[in-house]
Each structure stands twice: as C-alpha cells, then as structure tokens.
Structure 1
Amino acid sequence: MPIEDYSGGVSSETDVIVVTTNDVPGYQVQEVIGEIFGLTVRSRHMGSQIGAGLKSMVGGELRGLTKTLVATRNQAMERLIEAARARGANAVLMMRFDVTDAAQVGTEVCAYGTAAVVAKTAP
C-alpha cells in the first residue's frame, strides 16, 4: 500500500503554515488571533468493525481502521486550515489532535491550535 494511505499532514500547496511548535523558524509572529479547531465525527462501518473484531483475535494491524483514521484526521486538519483562513490567519501554531469516542457509534477527531499571522524575518 502507498504511504499516502497511512500518513497525513498539510499539503505543500496550502497558504497556511501548520506547526506543532510555539513558533515558526524564520518567521516572526505579528498577531495572535486565538484558538481555532476543525472537527469531524465518523461513524463506524459495520463491515470494518466485524473485520477488526476478527483481526483482533489473531493480532496485526487493522489496516482498514488505520486508513479511516488517517482520512478523518486529514479532514479535521482541512477544516482547521479553513477556520484559520476565515479568521485572517496564515499560520496555526501548537497544532494538536484530540480523538474520542462519540457515543460509542463513532470517533470524534478534533484538530486544534492557535491561529496567528506570521511574517518572514529578514535574513
């Protein structure tokens, strides 16, 4: 399977910088806008649940669930970036994920961070 199926992150084509750090090397924070988040809730597919239950008896990676979680995190990040743009930010600092069960019928994934305006520093 291609690595794209099992990894995520921000596209290199986006105009919003997303980092898990307090600052961005080579940039200066000009304005802190505030907390933002992107949220999605995915229901569990009955077929994948049955397959996961069977796989858990013999061990190994649950590839279907892994791919679903990657897609869900990527969707939450896309919504986070949309929220940053809507508030006038060009960066998200201290980005994190929070994942929880949603009433035992799905998984809630929240990408959150601090929206900010950053500018390149002079060399």
Structure 2
Amino acid sequence: MNAAFLKKSLRLLAELGVLLALYLLGGLLAGWLDWPIPGGVIGMALLLMVFATGWVKPATLQLGAGLLMAEMLLFFIPALMSLLDYGTLLRDEGWRILLVIGVSTLLVMLVTAFTVEWVCRWSMRHDA
C-alpha cells in the first residue's frame, strides 16, 4: 500500500469525522435547546464559528468537504423518491409549487448578492 494513499485516506477520514461531529453536535444542541432550527443548520453555524475564530482553517477540511460536495446528488435521492407518493398533488398544484420554489430561489440569490456586495464595500471602507 502506498504511503501517500494511506496518508490521504487518513486525512479524509479525519476531516469527515470533524464534519460529522459538528453535524451531530448541532443535532444535540437543537434537541437540548428545543429550537425550531434543524440540527444541520446549527452544525453549519458551529462550523462557521470554528472558521471565524481561527481554530480551524477552511483549507483544513477541504478534502472531506469536497468529497461530500461531489456526492451531493446522493443526498437528494430520498427526497426525490418521496415525490412519487405525491403524484396527484404535483399534477393539481405543481405549478404553484414551482412558482414558490422559483420566487424563493430568486429572492435568496438576490439577498445573497446584495449582502456580499455590502460586506465587500464595508470591508474596503474599513481597510482604507
């Protein structure tokens, strides 16, 4: 077995372990605090805090996050399969559902773009 392959595999497992631990911690916090926020979202907030405090650099988890992003479609297969149970709903109300999805996606993209623009301008003013 190649030493480089073994080293990369161990690093991948460690990174996935850190990401899984943050996800599970978020789930525990959501249960303990009885918040209506999903544990995965709280886990992402914890990840952001870890990055913001400098405890972990984003590049440190790049290999594990890259693997999860590459296999993202696998995480959506159960949700897509559940749509088969609601065929009549989709036939009757599908256009409304698609309209809500389209409008909400557009709003999220616009808010994100304006927020990034505002943060960039604010950052440039404070750096000058």
TM-score with structure 2 length normalisation?
Answer: 0.28
Higher-Rg member (1/2): 2
Q: 1 or 2, which has the higher strand percentage?
A: 1
Q: Which has the higher contact order (CA 8 A, sep 6+)?
A: 1
Q: 1 or 2, which has the higher helix percentage?
A: 2
